[in-house]
Amino acid sequence: MKLVRWGAVGAERPGLIAAGDGGLRDLSAHCADIRADLDFSALRGLDPASLPRVDGSPRLGVPVAAIGNVLCIGLNYRDHAAETGLALPGEPVVFSKHTGALAGPHDALTMPAGTAKLDWEVELAVLIGRPAWQIDESAALAHVAGYMTANDISARDWQMERGGQWIKGKSGPGFCPLGPYLVTADEIADPQSLPLWTEVNGVRKQNGSTKDMVFGVATIIAHLSHFMPLAAGDVILTGTPAGVGLGRGEFLGAGDIMEVGVHGLGRQRTLIA
Q: Which domains does the chain have, with CATH numbers?
A: 2-50 (no CATH), 70-271 (3.90.850.10)
Q: What is the pLDDT of residue 39?
A: 92
- β-partners of residue 124 are 149
| Secondary structure (3-state) at 189 | coil
Q: What residue type is 43 in one-letter code?
A: L
| Rounded Cα gap, residues 105 and 75, in angstroms | 24
Q: What is the pLDDT of residue 86?
A: 77
The dihedrals phi and psi of 141, each to the nearest 5 degrees, come to -65, -20
Q: Show pLDDT as tens, one digit a residue, over the chain (273 residues).
A: 999 999 999 999 999 999 989 999 999 999 999 999 999 999 999 999 999 999 999 999 999 999 999 999 999 998 888 887 878 899 999 999 999 999 999 999 999 999 999 999 999 999 999 999 999 999 999 999 999 999 999 999 999 999 878 999 999 999 999 999 999 999 999 999 999 999 999 999 999 999 999 999 999 999 999 999 999 999 999 999 999 999 899 999 999 999 999 999 999 999 999
Radius of gyration of the chain (CA): 18
Q: What is the pLDDT of residue 173?
A: 98
